[in-house]
Chains A and B, each alone.
Chain A
């Protein structure tokens, strides 16, 4: 079975090499097909591995070579496909494949077509390494790799200055998290002498609990960076500078969930770390609320979805924080379906609108973009949590786990966030697809449905968004929770009581009623009364704070960026130039003699000196040979 791992990894790497080296000379379709196929091969491998594990097979291990060996540190380049890895693999390669297909249509006019596919393949390779690595260092390798691909793809249209800054911001904010993760890895080496998952987890009980708490917190710092949680979340909305398929693949479905994977992977540690779990819970909860409220006031179609992603990731961390690891993974899965769908849908809209992303200049698109409209609607219903679509089951489960695992406060905040989510999503939906068209005449004339390479992935993802909930039906409907059963052997879930049927029925009924009200109200506000949002500068009061994203960027600029720049100048102009050089100059005067010597050399005949030097040395060598 090990060879399936090798093929799954090697295939996109080969795709990357082919697209990168020869893509320039190949027709666009060929490059696109090779790149997509390479991911499809990985997908097939994932299915084989999935089957193997599902039928009760053991986790598959693939050892290659010893990567780094120095003193007590020995790192093997080895891979492990257990149920958690394979679960992630399925999402990465499955959704990844669909997005590759979609990109063939979306990027067709771009001159950097082959480069785009090379990067995408490289991303899939890195992401697979991340989830398949058999120890924390290999995971870190993938972790940095996806960060790099994210950087390259956000800045894909590099001629635009702003995009370049967005790419850099993403890389640097991720690196802040990476430092935490790296220190966590050092601690692991320190405590266990290795970072190999199997060894580390089996001896987790031997370490003292304060150390484990610290390791968990450090690992979580890494997760905060990668999964865009407060305080390191501001890069993700800016990352929307990248082409839309990238937003769907990297910044919604896969890479940003790496933080959830990391915590779930370390569930043995986290489940026994009360402080760390509380931090995870609080950070997740605050992020979920804050990002959702910002989402209410955004006018860029992709930014709304970006804040929504941040908020949903917060949800997942809440689940991790209460110890419901398989629930978090379940939501990762459904979210991958409907958020990828929504992003690709928005891509289709942007494609039709000739690059326009502001929903204030859209409207009424449902008439021209029938497939996009219908699939987008399904995605909206799924994320809003309308039963029986996928989002309902995974969200509902998080709410239940939060209620039974923590308490009423967390439950209420999550429920409120759910309501806000539904509001901004339907606001987005109605402003985009209903009412009068508010763009230019030229755009109106140009409106068209996207080609089938783009719509087919939309349809498949829409189907998955509808039925994806089947992976984890609540006990009200079924006694068999597939995700939980499959994953529970590799995740150490906390013991949280099952929700009572009464609780589930109440939640179901209340959410259906609330959603119906929200849909009717947003429809009447945005479609019937034709209210169009104002720009951020015209907002007043709290709306303005929301439009300005709680001024996070401005605060960071004042508190971090400016002082560092000041310090840079101070260090260079004062400490270096005035202080240290001052001392040097004083001592310099003492050695004027040497200065005279040097000056003579400068003006003298260099050739002579050179010759003298070389001859002298050789003469010495010869003399002592003779002596």
Chain B
């Protein structure tokens, strides 16, 4: 509950302050929020298979809209990511001087609150409302502070998400109408809705498309690279770092239990799409010259693997997927921030315009290197454990799918090392522009990310333990529900 209120109030307050103060306020609010999150974690019973901090208030009874919130282990990981990432994102904007910074920060905070709401919701309609609420700020952020062609691109983004939201709403209402007794949007009622296999399949597809657009999964991805590259750095970080996890989370929390009577064969199609996406995006990433677009495509590729692993619905896959959602959030924020730092100095994102940056920026080279390795999933970085579990799950699901998705470890090395090499190595460009010293906010942001990359690489169990009981619980609910 508090998790939603803090950012909203801060968001409101921020509007009344001047730029500098707004920054301080936004940062403080996000730190307080993170601390609150940790307090919640410390009181969280890892062994209990239940929604903790559960609360329910009636809101609009006639609509079945209750304010029901609760946290299980899976949601806890997502909340931690959201609130941690928000601190990083706000900190990363410290050196930015956008026109009307206040509004910008206010939108970021608003989004943080809405995202927390998405992960907390235990009521279908409330979930939907927060989902939409989280989308609005990002339209503004891209539409106002974006680069070239922003209107056209935002429009494309809007069409996609509009379609997704529509399908999701329809699916939610459809399930609602099949809940027992007086219909209810409460999660625990919705998962026992009585639907035939055919109806379930319909719901499954509606949810899948809605979430697939958000993540995105091939072939619902074409809004993504454009939107990522045109959005301001923090917008991209919000989109890739946190927002796409709404889709992953939605699949786990809503899609899978709601549509449990649907034929498991549908998942074969979904996983195949996800695996196509892994390779498709990786191959495209190899030839991109805009550093942000490389990262954007790599994100499609990585998320494809997360989706494939999760949709195998076995414990290793789910655990790997949840862990990797967290890791991907951290790493991709780091990578996009690196792109931003380079762009701040060089005024370009074209790899062909870069070279030899390593020479006069040792600290930056090192931080970049570690974050890149996290993305390439070298052991002892956070990416490794997630990728290991996910690939293992996919491999056990189907050998060929496992081998094909395994190619990602090769392709990812190809495009990430290419970026690093073209930017950092080689002879210096003669324009004399260097990275130089990082500002304190840049250094702290990247430093925190690097610490996280290594810490989670060494102790992945820290995250895995949080979600373990809930994953067991989820699989328990589903036992017998899925026919393969």
Q: Which residues of A contact B (CB under 8 A)?
A: 66-73, 137, 140-141, 144-145, 148, 151, 155, 158-161, 164-165, 167-168, 171-172, 175-176, 178-179, 182-183, 186, 189-190, 564-565, 567-569, 571-572, 575-576, 580-581, 584, 587-588, 591, 594-595, 598-599, 601-602, 606-607, 609-611, 613-615, 617-618, 620-621, 624-625, 627
Q: Verify A614–B103 contact, CB threshold 8 A.
A: no
A68 and B461: CB pair below 8 A?
yes
A625 touches B402 (CB 8 A): no
B35 part of interface (Cβ distance < 8 Å): no
Within 8 A of A (CB), among B361-410: 373, 378-380, 384-385, 388-389, 391-392, 395-396, 402-403, 406-407, 409-410
Q: Which residues on the B side are within 8 Å of A580 (C-beta)?
A: 219, 222
Are A613 and B136 closer than 8 Å at their CB atoms?
A: yes
Query: Quick check: is B128 within 8 A (CB to CB) of the other chain?
Result: no
Find the B residue at minimum CB distance from A71.
B315
Given contact pairs A584-B156, A624-B67, A568 touches B286 in the complex (Cβ within 8 A) = yes
Distance from A22 Cβ to chain B, minimum over Cβ atoms (Å): 13
Encoded as 1 (CB less than 8 Å from any A CB) or 0, chain B from 297 to 326 comes to 000000000000000001110011001000
List the 9 closest A-B pairs by CB distance, nearest first: A71-B315, A70-B319, A141-B379, A158-B425, A568-B287, A164-B425, A71-B316, A624-B59, A186-B395
Instruction: Decide yes or no whether B464 CB sits under 8 A from chain A.
Output: yes
Cβ B222 vs Cβ A158 within 8 A: no
Residues of chain B in range 408-428 having any CB-CB distance to chain A below 8 Å: 409-410, 413-414, 417-418, 421, 424-428
Whole-angstrom CA separation of A625 from B55 in the bound complex: 12
Query: For residue B288, which residues in chain A have a CB less than 8 angstroms away from its CB?
Result: 572
Q: Is the CB of A183 within 8 A of B356?
A: no
**Is there a chain A Cβ closer than 8 Å to B160's Cβ?**
yes
List B residues 149-172 near A (Cβ within 8 Å): 151, 154-156, 158-160, 162-163
Asked if residues A172 and B67 are in contact (CB atoms below 8 Å), the reply is no
Identity of the chain A residue whose Cβ is nearest the Cβ of B219 in the assembled complex: A580
- B461 — which chain A residues lie within 8 A by C-beta? 66-69
Q: A68-B388, A568-B286, A602-B151 are in contact. Are A178 and B106 (CB under 8 A)?
A: no
Nearest-neighbor residue (CB-CB) of A571 within chain B = B284
A573 to B81, CA, bound (A): 35
Whether B8 is near chain A, meaning CB under 8 Å from some CB there, is yes
The docked-state distance in angstroms from the alpha carbon of A599 to that of B143 is 10
Tell me the smallest distance from the CB of B447 to a CB of chain A, in Å: 14
Indicate whether A178 sits within 8 Å of B409 (C-beta atoms), given known contacts A72-B316, A161-B426, A183-B402: yes
The reply on B110 being an interface residue by CB < 8 A is yes
B359 interface residue (CB < 8 Å to A): yes
**A183-B395, A598-B154 are contacts. A576–B284 as well, Cβ < 8 Å?**
yes
Residues of B within 8 A of A (CB): 4-5, 8-9, 11-12, 15, 57-59, 67, 103, 106-107, 110, 113, 133, 136, 139-140, 143-144, 151, 154-156, 158-160, 162-163, 219, 222-223, 280, 283-284, 286-288, 314-316, 319-320, 323, 356, 358-359, 373, 378-380, 384-385, 388-389, 391-392, 395-396, 402-403, 406-407, 409-410, 413-414, 417-418, 421, 424-428, 458, 460-461, 464, 468
When chains A and B are docked, how far (Å) is the Cα of A617 from the Cα of B113? 10
Q: Give the chain B neighbours of A179 by CB distance below 8 A.
A: 406-407, 409-410
Q: Which of the residues B9, B67, B143, B426 comes within 8 Å of A164, measured between beta carbons? A: B426
In angstroms, Cα B476 to Cα A570, docked, is: 44
B15 neighbours in A (Cβ, 8 Å): 607, 610-611, 614
Residues of A within 8 A of B358 (CB): 158
List residues of chain B with CB within 8 A of the CB of A572. 284, 287-288
CA distance A567 to B320 in the complex (A): 30
Contact across chains for B154 and A168 when beta carbons are under 8 A apart: no
Known: A587-B159, A598-B158. A168 touches B103 (CB 8 A): no
**A76 vs B318: C-alpha distance when bound (angstroms):** 21
Q: Nearest A residue to B323 by beta-carbon distance?
A: A70
Cα of A340 to Cα of B347 in the assembled complex, Å: 47
Complex Cα gap A456–B58 (Å): 83
Please report the C-alpha to C-alpha distance between residue A160 and residue B359 in the assembled complex, in whole angstroms: 12
Please list 30 pairs of residues, one from A and one from B, whose beta carbons are closer than 8 Å in the complex, sorted by A's number. Answer: A67-B460, A68-B388, A68-B389, A69-B461, A70-B320, A70-B323, A71-B316, A73-B389, A137-B388, A141-B380, A144-B378, A145-B379, A148-B373, A158-B425, A158-B426, A159-B428, A160-B426, A161-B425, A164-B425, A168-B418, A168-B421, A175-B410, A182-B391, A190-B395, A569-B287, A571-B280, A581-B222, A587-B163, A595-B155, A624-B58
Which chain B residues border A66 with CB–CB below 8 Å? 461
Q: Which residues of A contact B136 (CB under 8 A)?
A: 613
Establish whether residues A610 and B106, one from each chain, have CB atoms under 8 Å apart when the complex forms: yes
B149 to chain A, nearest CB (A): 13
Query: Are A186's CB and B222's CB within 8 A?
Result: no
How far is the CB of A449 from the nearest CB of chain B, in Å?
A: 33
Q: Which residue of A lies closest to B225 (CB)?
A: A576
A569 to B57, CA, bound (A): 54
The complex places the Cα of A573 from the Cα of B143 at a distance, in Å, of: 25
Q: B162 near A591 (CB under 8 angstroms)? A: yes
Besides A68-B461, A161-B426, 13 other CB < 8 A contacts? A141-B380, A144-B384, A158-B424, A159-B427, A164-B426, A182-B409, A190-B395, A576-B284, A581-B156, A581-B222, A615-B12, A627-B57, A627-B58
Give CA–CA (A175, B140) in the complex, Å.
42
Report whether B59 and A159 are in contact in the complex, using a CB–CB cutoff of 8 Å: no
Residues on A with C-beta less than 8 A from B373 are: 148
Known A572-B284, A621-B5; contact A183-B403, beta-carbon cutoff 8 A: yes
Nearest to A572 among chain B residues (CB) is B284
B356 in complex: contacting residue of A67, A159, A618, CB < 8 Å: A159
Is the Cβ of A594 less than 8 Å from the Cβ of B158?
Answer: yes
Known: A565-B286, A606-B144. A70 touches B315 (CB 8 A): yes
Tell which of A160, A167, A581, A617 has the most Cβ of chain B within 10 Å: A617
Chain B nearest CB: distance from A17 CB in Å? 12
Is B319's CB under 8 angstroms from A161's CB? Answer: no
- Cα(A614)–Cα(B107), bound, Å: 9
Q: Is the CB of B410 within 8 A of A584?
A: no
With contacts A564-B286, A598-B155 known, is A186 near B392, CB below 8 A? Answer: yes
In the complex, are the beta carbons of A161 and B427 less than 8 A apart?
A: yes
Min C-beta distance of A272 to chain B, whole Å? 22
Residues from chain B with Cβ under 8 Å of A137 in the complex: 388
CB–CB B110/A614 < 8 A = yes
How far is B422's CA from A168's CA once the two chains are assembled, in angstroms?
Answer: 11
Task: For B1, give the chain A residue with the smallest CB separation.
Answer: A621
In the bound complex, CA of A241 to CA of B414 (Å): 19
Shortest Cβ distance from residue B102 to the other chain A in the assembled complex, whole angstroms: 9
Residues of B within 8 A of A611 (CB): 12, 15
Question: How distant is the Cα of A70 from the Cα of B463 in the complex, in angstroms?
Answer: 11
In Å, the complex CA distance between A287 and B232 comes to 52
Contact B421 A164 (CB under 8 A): yes
User: Are A568 and B283 within 8 A (Cβ)?
Assistant: yes
A613 to B139, CA, bound (A): 14
Return chain A residues, CB-CB under 8 Å to B286: 564-565, 568
A130 to B110, CA, bound (A): 48
- In Å, the complex CA distance between A46 and B391 comes to 36
Residues on A with beta carbons closer than 8 Å to the beta carbon of B287:
565, 568-569, 572
With a cutoff of 8 Å between Cβ atoms, the chain B residues found around residue A568 in the complex are 283-284, 286-287
Bound CA span A390–B425, Å: 41
C-alpha gap A68/B388 in the complex (Å): 10
The answer on a CB contact under 8 Å between A182 and B139 is no
Taking A179-B406, A615-B12 as contacts, is the C-beta distance between A70 and B464 under 8 angstroms?
A: yes
Residues A144 and B59 in contact in the complex (CB < 8 Å), given A568-B283, A598-B154, A602-B143? no
- Cβ B222 vs Cβ A607 within 8 A: no
A71, B319: Cβ atoms under 8 Å?
Answer: yes
Q: Which residues of B contact A599 (CB under 8 A)?
A: 151
Question: Do residues A68 and B219 form an inter-chain contact, with CB atoms below 8 A?
Answer: no
- A418–chain B nearest beta-carbon distance, Å: 36
Would you call A182 and B418 a contact (CB within 8 A)? no
Contacts of A625 on B, CB cut-off 8 Å? 57
Inter-chain CA distance A101–B51, complex, in Å, is: 60
Nearest opposing residue in chain B for A577, CB measure:
B222
